[in-house]
Homo-oligomer: A and B are copies of this chain.
Amino acid sequence: MSGNDEGKPAEPGTRWLDAEQQEAWLTLIALVTRLPAALDTQLQRDSALTHFEYFVLASLSGEANRRLQLSLLAQRANASLSRLSHVITKMEKAGWVRRESIRGSRGSDAVLTDEGMAKVVEAAPPHVESVRSLIFDGLSAEQVRQLSELSGAMLTQLDKSIASGTGRA
């Protein structure tokens, strides 16, 4: 990666990134762009699923009664409620999920059907194999630990920044 891809000094008063931050940033951007693309490509080809759909199905499959309230599922899947709602509608039509309203509460649950469960069970092995090949085969145990810590730290900062409105994102 060459020069200054994050824009060059133009306004006095703006604090730019130092060289190490620049490099880390460019590399991180590449990662967050390419990794999802790679995951989608594999899942699309092997199972005709988006990674988001897979993640939603997998999340439900790990749940106590294979069910979860939509708003909680959205959080779990790092998505907006709107995005989730559209996808649940699609997967409901496919027969993998159904909606069920919660008595005595204002929410509704997404429930994984048997067909949905079968779908994840079928999609999981090639996907996990791909995750291993795309990422973990290149990392030592120590690096895996570092990855957890670093990603965790970034998520914490992300949440803090968004909550405070400072990052205005």
Contact = CB atoms under 8 A, between A and B. Distances in A.
Given A30-B155, A128-B6, A161 B134 contact: yes
A124 B78 CA distance: 27
A14 interface: yes
A30 B75 CA distance: 10
Q: How many subunits of this chain does the assembly comprise?
A: 2
B144 A21 contact: yes
Interface in A5-40: 5-8, 10-11, 13-17, 20-21, 23-25, 27-39
Nearest to A10: B121
A157 B169 contact: no
A25 B58 contact: no
A14 B135 CA distance: 17
Contact of A25 (B29, B126, B131): B131
Nearest to A160: B138
Given A130-B167, A154-B35, A148 B10 contact: no
A145 B70 CA distance: 39
B29 A31 contact: no
